[in-house]
Structure 1
Amino acid sequence: MVFLVNFPRVAFAPMLDALAASFDVTSQGKIGLIATLVWLGSALPRIPTGWLLTRVPRHHVVLGTGLVLTGAATFTTFAWSLPSVYVGSLLMGVASGAYFIAANPLVSELFPESVGRALGIHGTASQVAAVAAPLFVGVALAAAWISVPFERWRLVFASIAVFAAVTTTAFYLVARRAELPDAGADDRDLIAGARAQWPLVVAGVVFLGFTGFVWNGVFNFYVQYLDVAKDVARPTGRVLLTGIFAAGVPAFWLTGRLMDRVPHVPVILAILGGFATLLMALTVVSGLYAVVAVSLAIGYVIHSLFPAMDIYLLDALPDEHRGSAYALYSGTMMLVQSTGSVALGTMRDLDVTFTAAFQGYAALVAGLVVVLVALHVAGRLPTKARAVN
């Protein structure tokens, strides 16, 4: 299921041009809002889902997200205007956000002795969807042998709807027969979780919030950036975007295992510093081979951050606060990063160049890293949960 809930979050990026043409839209801000809404939708249900998990078993929530995704994809298949696409993208984001809040704690509780490995595998499946999405969209939009009596982008959402329905049914049948953990049985108070574990929650938001905001804008406009700033044709850019996500597959897998063996905070700080450096390098290098090399490195580094953050939190949080505190972190962090696409699109409407925007972002992330390193050296960054009386 993680494959399907992550698929739409990435599928919109390579479809922005097709959607703009279909609805005769020229504003980059309006088109960027489509991608922003799927990420905003992923942010909005996270804290409410954390509260829901204090009342409802995690696997019931996972099942519900499959039903929402099926309905949202079906709705988007028949979208008749740009606002209706907005609604569909928001709802597909809602399904993904609720899923991750329920599923990530469930996975960590299923494998308490190897949280990093388990979340790494789960994240790898999610990242495979990120790789497959641009490829599938590219085939759906360009393959002459696919003949459909409607606009080709609708085929993408029709396929998501069908596979989501099948997968949700399969999950229901498996969960009905499985013996599931009850480690979260004492996690019954969202506010208590926030009060007890707020240092970890705040640290998580600081680590990932702004960096995720930057990455959200970068990857959604990456194909356009290459076309405008690097003179790389858009079909080639879409292939490179796929390469960026493909580089994330080993990143999830290897980072999960690494985090089981080494202190978490230094790894996260190294990843943040690497991302800032590589983003700046992307604006400086020239030539296709150099762009490819830096892009793939960015893909590996940024996708190492996501499992690292989940493991940092879920490995540290106690059973009685894991779901609620993780939901508060994830919901707040996603609200920050979800606006990345519309922010970058708006800057483009204001004639800010891609190069200036990316270099500014890289400088700000680098400044954040300097502050975080100083705090870590001073012992001010949390590395474990607070004791619970």
Structure 2
Amino acid sequence: MPVTSQLTLPAIPLIANPALQQQLQQKVSNKTKPPGSLGTLESLAIRLGLIQQSLTPAIHHPQVAVFAADHGLTDEGVSAFPAAVTPQMVHNFLQGGAAINVFARQHNLALQAVDAGVNADFTPHARLIDKKVRKGTRNALHTPAMTRDECIQALQAGMELVQTLPGNLLLTGEMGIGNTSSASLLLARLGKLPVAKCTGRGTGLNNNGLHHKTRVLQAVLSRHASAQTPLDVLTALGGLEIAMMAGALIQGAAERRILLMDGFIAGVALLVANRLAPGTCDYAVFGHGSAEPGHRYVLQLLNATPLLELNLRLGEGSGAALAYPLLQSACAFINEMASFEDAGISGASS
């Protein structure tokens, strides 16, 4: 197992299996259709088969975990909404009223909200998992967002959470006012990109707000110029929900779960996870391309193509939930569609 400071990370099994990939490709090619006519669905079915190391990929008990936390950097006016919205939205998740609740019900996805570091106290609830590390990160303009121990605690909590969840598909979402700022900082440092390219309007900043946010983020990067290793970068610039999500993704990959990815912030969590535990991203299926400008750079860094392009920028896991039926369809056609031989239909001439 790779070891990072006091953090012990699970080994990530390889999905590469040339013999199995050839068998999967042959199975897809023998279905009653012209070669390649199901497009991306064909490569998706093969990817799911490789993740599960099976000729008959299947999804059971899919899980949605929405990680929530507050960000000290909101003190600098980097968000159009006040920090009070974070706990208010957690209550909305618990009451079943958010977009991700609607889509999870539609697709029979089990949903849990995870308190990674919300600056509020909640009464116990069946849908709430309490993993609070602290009540929000510190203001990264003045000090590291977390201590190293807090960052490791968040990563470990994410891994431990996944160990308790049933199923073989994990969909991660997030909620935290200010978390696009944290994600932009992480992307800029880990991707060696100008922060202006990584920074978007988040919850709806106007032009002046966007310019101010970019200036603040540049100052934060300068303040933490010495943070360069993945764990140091996450500690200095990250969010508790991002760190906990990264731990969850690492554990999901270690257990060969399908990681159905949402947009910008979830993508940055995967980028962090993959730097800490290389190979984690091999288990990811990218649900959609976010309208947040930084997401295109995340996808480039991870050599990924999203299934959907719907101009979404909500978060919560909503875009990934919308893509979920495509994974069901990929499993269904590779397992249930007749082959030319089964149907007694002549194949294409070579």
Task: State TM-score, norm by structure 1.
Answer: 0.26
Which protein is richer in helix relative to its size?
1
Which protein is richer in strand relative to its size?
2
